[in-house]
Structure 1
């Protein structure tokens, strides 16, 4: 019996291929689906845009701002001659450290020596004249007192004689030998004599020593002042350091003649010492609330601090920068003029600031905005931006830590628009 020829059974193979293709399509769809929310806004069933947000946090925006600086003397003092004279001795040399009060140069002047001898002789003469005048005045005063006492004694004797005569006349009046007029006349003489005696005694008590020295004392005081001025001038023959520091620029030789105000040298004060730097306008914004700034010597890592002593209010037209000065104690003279330093306008803690990703910022001209989520509504918030360190940018104003900011397609949103938040992600 003739057997029928069987055809190959392809149905299972076809089924397997269809299943494999369907699985691949489904797998491809599931792999690409998560990318869509970040690429384009999607809508939920209510027609609201689906957005992802992040919390505003503080994080490091960059390294501390540094600027090259230079060490300078905090001040320079001109050393000058106050008097004329010849250089007799040079005690300090250029480049030496001097202390306040140290003698740098000694001058000599024969003219001043002569003037002092003359002034001293004038003082001595005036003093001797005063002593002689005092002796004379004492004698004259004693003579006046003696004369006054003698006059009083004479008056007292005369008064005693008048009293005896009066008593005799009073007895004679009682027996009729003296008239009443004669007795009255005698009483008048006694009263006048007593009055004269009382006046003499009062003058004796008010008698003062004779002043014969007032004019001479004025002359003495004038001579003493002249002597003091000459002595001060002689002291100025020693030219001293008015401050402690480094002595520079002293072109003197022994035997040179100096006039008043002649330059002797320059003292650079090194304690405290000054650190000078030039800043940009942006860098000066970091100084608003600071009184000190850190610094370190180039090539080292030891961080020190200096007090801000000066910040320029206007830009220097030559350097196109703002000058800043630090004042630093320098007792051990570690810092010397000409040394190079690095000054930090900000510290590590200043780098921890509020930031947002640059893709969350919407720019409109010079203005910058972000969309802040509040419930189911977004607010278009103006922000002030600071330093940029891709992909993050510092926010100086407009946001608070912990607020939620939209990160997906902010350019497609409108102020006060209702949205649907799908996730809170990290920046």
Structure 2
């Protein structure tokens, strides 16, 4: 069993030293010299002070736990793509809804354009079909629909040609990158080949002199052959990469030509559609009108899907938190299964501990828990969040505790000692152990009152960590002197 304490945040005032004066008195006797120091009554002593506080005293068993984030989320894109924008780094704070990164959305924008064009075509088809019902000119309506279909096909072809240009440009870029990568690998392979040649020649000389075994000699020869093979393979790969680049550049040129032709064709078809629409409105059956309405609804759904996909190219934070890990950079490609960022919420942390069967019924949800961080001097108070009714493989019953962490001093992975605070826990006045002085079997502290210290006798009850429980002599919020108190008297001038 060990006693713990609910520690309040220390209020510490520290101002620089104004003046410390020491008088050295020298006296001589029988040829010897003796030095004695005395403090001038008007010297000003710099001290540190801390408020005396009433704090809850926790008792009972001490349990261990590890700090974890209250919430941790991984950011995974819904589709593969290249990162176009991302300015965040590990440790940056984000709010819910903040933009984390943007993927290259050129293809998605093209898809949206295509969907919008199809919706426009479907809308026009509904209008033309309704007009045909009123006009009754079936033959002319057929010409309008055909012209509209041709325009849609031409527009689709134009968009596809534009996509072809983009894909061809990407292929050229990829081929150039492959050549650069191969050149780097070839330089490395050449260096390795030179090293293995040098090593083989050295091993051959040693082997001829019977200074190394045949196995070692053959191993060096095998390494040389392997290095030569790797080097030759990379040379061949370089030629292949260059050929791929040449083909990609030719494909890019062809794609650009195709795009130019499809654009010209689209303009021609568009003029034909405008002329056909002017000629006449065609009558159709009510079934045809209904079919055109359904086609329009489908086209609208396609536009909504394309807009949603375009929106998914922008990844936002689902929580307030801190960037805990970053696995991607601008320009790199991500897949739909890859975690690009991890965000944790540390403003409140949680600790999981295990309580034995003999103690679990003494704990309830909402109960206060004292948490002492082992890595640095910090004591905070949390509350029991959940209590599991199931023993976990003999380790005890899992109890989850939430601890406020507004200053973010508590980090994930830190070890803490935990003590549960009973409802009848007592509040006692505690002061730093450095503030308590002993003289002739009695304890006292100095309290800062204005510019002078006042000595007050106290009764020490027990020492808890770096604090001492005291009674009598002082009250809550007294300014207790914690530094340079051993050289004080009631006449000393102090600053703090």
Measured against the shorter chain, the TM-score band is 0.3 to 0.5
Which structure would you say has the larger Rg?
1
TM-score (norm 2): 0.40
